A = this chain, B = another copy of it.
Amino acid sequence: MKTYINPERKQWSELAKRPAMETDYLRSTIQNILDGVKKGGDKAIIEFTERFDGVKLDDLEFPKSKWENYTNNLPAELKKAIQTAANNIKSFHQPQLNKPFLVETMPGVKCWRKPVAIEKVGLYIPGGTAPLFSSVLMMAIPAQIAGCKETILCTPPDKNGNVHPAIVYAALITNVDRIFLAGGAQAIAAMAFGTETIPKTDKIYGPGNQFVTTAKQMVSEQGVAIDMPAGPSEVLVLADTSANPDYIAADLLSQAEHGADSQVILSTNDPSLSGKVNTAIENQIAALPRKEVAQKALLNSKIVVFEDFETAIDFSNTYAPEHLIIQANNLEQVAEKINHAGSVFLGPYTPESAGDYASGTNHTLPTNGYARAFSGLSVESFVKYITFQEITREGLENIGDTIEIMAKFEELDAHKNAVSIRRKS
């Protein structure tokens, strides 16, 4: 990892820049897929699946009646681990469900608000070498707590037309309603527009490659909600002189193995950490099956050394990392100074992988500096709020002048008249 010593503040925005994602060239390809599914429905999905996933499906749905048997041979230790993680995620997400509240803002003017679950939600789980069953938990549990009426899941089939049983198990224990074998932009199109088999949903969630994330952005321009804009995963480790270089190296590598476009940053006030962490990375990386991916990611990555720890914290806030790991003294005071981050991991025994899987926090988090304005996934992501008001005859007398005068000065006479006609009666 390249080391920068005491960079001036005017260089910070350059240091905090993420590698640019050019996806414009994908848009016409994806538009064709979206249009194809809109017109062709199931038939188009089956064709795209044959073309992109190399398997011809007879049936797009993996029916719920088969789920339980299908997971019978899953190792007991994995089932238990998924169950434990699910319990922790439930415990942490349950308090996120807001209650309705009512305020009588003036005598006779009652206003209230209630959370209403988004009715139909679509979860996307990518394919690839490893089954991302943990993402099923991170999306389906908040959907369940919110009370969504229909939760569907799309995931690409393997070459034999199958889905991994760990994904099915995670879906089973989190009350997902239906699983469909569809991946890529065609799955996003199906959940956005609906087909004969796959229902149209109100909001689409989940990680994916550039095809999937660009397709999500494109359908969001056409009226379907999406969870958040997505970019490659990233971690910033904030470390003072008390930090353990082996743990730092392990955390940086656990982010770097995600993908060649992952970014990992170390922000510190300890100049000796640069050498120590680089050495620890060299020692640890050799044993990793995904070391080539990690090595590529480390090329985008930086160690930034500052004169004091306060400045290292400032730099972290400028970067606004998706994941922020803090190994430092006075953790509580340091945590108070964090203004921009997705999820924060405090102290020597809190690796990022705890939050990725099982501590209880959500692992779907804002990347690419979006943590300045976006939150990670939560129960609120599966809820919308409806406001209500009911005014009595007397209440309208109390508030009537205010409305009429404001409407008059905004030159909206019909707004005024809607009050006057009632007061005159």
Asked if A392 is an interface residue, CB under 8 A from chain B, the answer is yes
Given A77-B405, A88-B106, does the pair A362, B387 have CB atoms closer than 8 Å?
yes
Most buried by B among A77, A130, A401, A410: A410
Contact B347 A386 (CB under 8 A): no
Asked if A416 is an interface residue, CB under 8 A from chain B, the answer is yes
Which of B103, B342, B352, B390 is within 8 Å of A386, CB to CB? B342
Spot the interface stretch: A37-45, A47-55, A178-186, A283-291: A283-291
Spot the interface stretch: A28-36, A61-69, A244-252, A308-316: A244-252
Most buried by B among A87, A111, A349, A389: A349
Number of chain A interface residues as a range: 35 or more
Across-interface contacts of A414 in B (CB, < 8 A): 250, 253-254, 256-257, 284, 288, 290, 294
Q: A349-388 toward B: CB 8 Å interface, digit per residue (1/0)?
A: 1111111111111100010111111111010100011111
Contact B361 A389 (CB under 8 A): yes
Across-interface contacts of A380 in B (CB, < 8 A): 380
Contact A421 B247 (CB under 8 A): yes
Given A413-B288, A414-B290, A418-B351, does the pair A343, B387 have CB atoms closer than 8 Å?
yes
Given A250-B421, A254-B418, A344-B386, does the pair A406, B351 have CB atoms closer than 8 Å?
no
CA of A350 to CA of B393 in the docked complex: distance in angstroms? 9
Asked if A407 is an interface residue, CB under 8 A from chain B, the answer is yes
Given A257-B414, A360-B103, A417-B254, does the pair A353, B407 have CB atoms closer than 8 Å?
yes
* Interface SS, A side: mixed
Smallest beta-carbon distance A376→chain B, Å: 6
Closest residue on chain B to residue A366 by CB atoms? B384
Across-interface contacts of A223 in B (CB, < 8 A): 229, 368-370
Across-interface contacts of A131 in B (CB, < 8 A): 409-410
Taking A81-B401, A116-B339, A343-B387 as known contacts, 10 extra A-B pairs with beta carbons closer than 8 A to each other, sorted by chain A number, are A88-B399, A109-B360, A119-B339, A203-B373, A338-B386, A350-B389, A353-B418, A354-B389, A357-B402, A361-B389
A-B contacts, 26 of them at CB < 8 A, read A109-B359, A111-B359, A113-B361, A116-B340, A119-B340, A130-B411, A131-B409, A133-B409, A134-B406, A134-B410, A223-B369, A250-B421, A257-B412, A290-B414, A342-B387, A343-B388, A344-B386, A345-B390, A352-B418, A353-B415, A354-B391, A354-B399, A362-B387, A375-B384, A376-B385, A376-B387
